[in-house]
Amino acid sequence: MAKGRTALASGVALAFVVTATAVHGTAGHGRSAGSPTSSLLAAAGGLPSPERPAFVVGTPVRLRKGETPARFAPVMREVEARRRPSRSASRVAELSGETPEGTTNIVLVLAGTTREDGQWVRVRLPVLPNGQTAWVPRRALGGYQFVHTRLVVNRERFTATLFSDGHAVFHAAIGIGRPESPTPSGDFYIRDKLSGFGNLFYGPIAYGTSAKSAVLTDWPGGGFIGVHGTNQPDLIPGRISHGCIRMRNDDILRLSHLMPVGTPLTIE
């Protein structure tokens, strides 16, 4: 029996040596000239470099608890906004690709749907009467952008508060419209941001909004309501303007670092 075990062990050892030798020999000659592997490597070396992708999809990020993002998009071409998501629906307004100030026109996007004739989105309109929404083809808009801020104006307390994901990050006293030219109430959005005025009346920064005055429709640009600084800070707080929301210059400068274009605006 012991002799049998010795013979078996010798056989296994011999087989291992033969196998190892065979493997070593194969590895040594696997990329020899004329082999299929060498031909493939030579052919690959002559291929052009891969094209650089137009964009790289970022790593998905889970929303933090309490986040309240809003989305907006630029108007890429003149388009008719309609009462329903259909080409046959009644026309509500016409949106252009540029604001009266010469900046890119944007719309706040509220919802979306897909129909037989394509994708449609419901947007908030910068037209009178204030507060209207309508539907436009998705392809008329550019890419979505997101903000986490919301500006709330309280006309009774003469205050403006900026929230970021529900947390107050800015608070300031304001001036609002006089009784004969009141600041309108409702839900709007910040449409553009301007600076470099030659007139100190507007202060260093002015935000354009989608809100419009119902009584100053003959004003240049149609009487849009702005949020801007002032050269008369002693009048704040109070009912001092033609409808615009005024802040002391230090406050509007502070706000300019916190509030991006596209921010939803609620005037209470």
Residues with a known catalytic role: 228, 244
Q: What is the CA radius of gyration of the chain?
A: 33
Q: Cα 58 vs. chain centroid, distance in angstroms?
A: 15
Cα–Cα–Cα angle for 209, 73, 82, rounded to 5 degrees: 85
Q: Please choose, from the candidates 250, 243, 115, the residue with its C-alpha nearest in 3D space to the C-alpha of residue 170.
A: 250
| Dihedral sign computed on CA atoms, order 138, 86, 79, 194 | negative
Cβ neighbourhood burial of 6 (10 Å; 0-12, 13-18, 19+): exposed
Strand ordering across the sheet containing 118-124: 91-95, 79-82, 133-137, 118-124, 106-115, 70-74, 145-147
